[in-house]
Amino acid sequence: MTSWIEVDLNAIAHNLRVVKRGLDAEIKIIGVVKANAYGHGLVETARAVWTAGADILATADLDEAVALRVGKIRSPIIILGYVDPNDFRRLLDFDLTTTIFDFETAVKLAREATKLNKWARVDIKVDTGMNRYGFPAHEVLEQYRKILALEHLKIEGLHSHFADASDKKFSAYQLLELQNLLFSFQQNHLTAPMVHLAATEGMFRYPEAHFDAVRVGLALYGYYGFETQEDELQPVLELKTRIAHLKTVGKGEAIGYKRTFVAGKAMKIAVIPFGYFDGYPRSYSNKGFVLIGGRRCRVVGRICMNAFMADVSGVSCRVGDEVVLIGRQGHDKVYADELARFDDSIPHELLSRLSMSLPREYRFK
């Protein structure tokens, strides 16, 4: 095996315990396993999240949710993204909750549920300022009543999403929008279903935004997603490959496409059989680094589709030795949050774009 991912399921359980310590006991945890569980592998990771104590699992789409059911995961599952009405029968057959953000879709779902004599489960999305999915906050009360009146349809939740949890002022505005909506429910003698707003960053920053549940994504996988002095979370994933080739490059010689790196002295370089096809961004060219022999080795030259080169001058290594792209080796480490800063990205993107074809090995003591 040339390249692979190691997933420590014990770290997921640890991270959930860290999250729970910051929550009141009655607050539910929605474990977000969308995008192939942030690159960690959907079914095995979701099973670990569920058994470690999450109350609900969340996916991005119907296919992910069905894959969990086929994998014999019986937890409540909410689909956060769009579901094509042509797939409503499958949604109902697998007993899944879907997010509703327009009334016409709710009507179509209720019709299909009535025809099949089943109950459709829905979570209503409120747009408090993200301007993505969701009913505008000022329309929700009216739309909620209309949806509530539909046959064979059960409203299980009401949720929104912070646009920028690092922006305290705008987050406070969004929080107030949702609180005002819930107050209008009280004024109209309506009992709100499960309410959730905060994802990982919002959960850590704003305890007042916890409501009935929190959606925990990035924290499950060991990252806070923002600058903090806290370091209790444990990164779950390690990405590894092996040295494919070693060669010496003379002073003045160029390395890789477009000759963007020219050796200032004689160098030993390792060819690493992993590239942007596999999920290692081309933007890390001449900036990134990997761990070889317990030392940081700089990426030199352009990252290719299936390979890149690293400077291993002074490092004792040979063909076949382990290369750590994400993870620990010896006394050093390189994790997704640090790498993401090379191209002003986020760890979510780096992790979720790791190729699904990479073998995943799961560790659990």
Q: Strand, helix or coil at 55?
A: coil
What phi, psi does 325 have (nearest 5°)? -90, -35
| Of the candidates 84, 181, 72, the residue with the CA atom closest to the CA atom of residue 124 | 181
- Amino acid in the structure at residue 13: A
The DSSP bridge pattern shows strands 4-8 and 237-242 to be antiparallel
How would you write the chain as a 3-class SS string? Answer: CCCEEEEEHHHHHHHHHHHHHCCCCCCEEEEECHHHHHCCCHHHHHHHHHHCCCCEEEECCHHHHHHHHHCCCCCCEEECCCCCHHHHHHHHHCCCEEEECCHHHHHHHHHHHHHHCCCEEEEEEEECCCCCCCEEHHHHHHHHHHHHCCCCEEEEEEECCCCCCCCHHHHHHHHHHHHHHHHHHHHCCCCCCEEECCCHHHHHHCHHHCCCEEEECHHHHCCCCCCCCCCCCCCCEEEEEECCEEEEECCCCEECHHHCEECCCCEEEEEECCCCCCCCCHHHCCCCEEEECCEEEEEECCCCCCCEEEECCCCCCCCCCEEEEEEEECCEEECHHHHHHHHCCCHHHHHHCCCCCCCEEEECC
What phi, psi does 152 have (nearest 5°)? 60, 35
Which of 20, 28, 34, 168 is catalytic? The answer is 34
C-alpha 162/C-alpha 290 separation (Å) is: 34
For residue 142, CA distances in Å to 4, 34, 81, 137, 148 come to 51, 31, 22, 10, 10
Let me know if 144 is a catalytic residue. Answer: no
Which of 146, 173, 251, 257 is catalytic? The answer is 257
Let me know if 265 is a catalytic residue. Answer: no
List active site positions. 34, 257
